[in-house]
Copies of this chain bind each other. A is one copy, B any other.
Amino acid sequence: MNNSSAQPGHFYALGIGPGASDLLTVRAMRIIESADIILSPQAESSNRSLALATIAPYVQNQQIETINYPMQRDAVSTHERWQRVARQVEDWCKNGQSVAMITIGDPLIFATTCYLLQGLEPYLSADKIHIVPGISAFQIAASRFHDALTLQEDRLMLMSATKLDAVEAALSQCETLVLYKAGGVIHALLALLDKYRLRPAARLLSALEQGTDELVVENLEHFTPGVMHYMTTMIIHCGRRNWQNSNEET
């Protein structure tokens, strides 16, 4: 797929990174520029315009199709919704059109893309389905600091912050713990950090590279949370215990 453009009858699941227009891959950019149809899934609770704003510099005459969906955990209705989208994608592809679905972050890391990929399986042969990875939120969060996420034998754990007991267990199972969706449970997370004296080892970030409302908390020691973005990321260096000790790592 190197250096190629979108092919007729093919489907592309593209990760477009955190939000800045220059943080998607050259491959994703070229497929967006050459695709007939751009598919943009938009959760009701999310920043609806973010994905389309990210790719705006690369859009000219492509047909834009948005898929609005509620944030819910109903397996049956989720399945049915994405089945309908899959049949629509099948129609477009059978008509010889190329379809590119754009996803903030990486399409295989906590992304709804996966439901569509499951739905497409019966309709489109595997060689007509392509996935282009994107920069995930934890990568852009880490890039704001100048420390390693992982070195040598470090274990990195990436998970949602929503299950507190699982988060507490993870603190002793890895050297670097990355929590997505930390905004909604921030008070409970801070209490957990206090319990293990890990506040100096944790950082908090949200809306990075999205143009406005960036939050970067490098030091949580005296941090009092206000209203927080749902998609806030917390990075905890459980193993190193303290950012100030990072020079001891080799």
In the complex, A59 has a CB within 8 A of chain B: no
Residues of B within 8 A of A146 (CB): 117-118, 120-121, 126, 129, 131
For window 19-46 of A, CB contacts with B under 8 Å fall at: 20-27, 29-30
In the complex, are the beta carbons of A151 and B106 less than 8 A apart? no
Stretch at the interface among A60-68, A162-170, A183-191: A162-170
For chain A, which range describes its interface: under 10, 10 to 19, 20 to 34, or 35 or more residues? 35 or more
In the complex, A7 has a CB within 8 A of chain B: no
Residues of B within 8 A of A118 (CB): 146, 246-247, 249
Stretch at the interface among A94-102, A107-115, A226-234: A107-115
Known: A2-B21, A22-B26, A147-B117. A153 touches B142 (CB 8 A): no
In the complex, are the beta carbons of A109 and B149 less than 8 A apart? yes
Which chain B residue has the least Cβ–Cβ distance from A76?
A: B250
Which chain B residue has the least Cβ–Cβ distance from A74?
A: B250
In the complex, A78 has a CB within 8 A of chain B: yes
- 7 closest Cβ contacts across the A-B interface? A75-B250, A114-B148, A133-B139, A131-B143, A22-B27, A22-B26, A155-B159
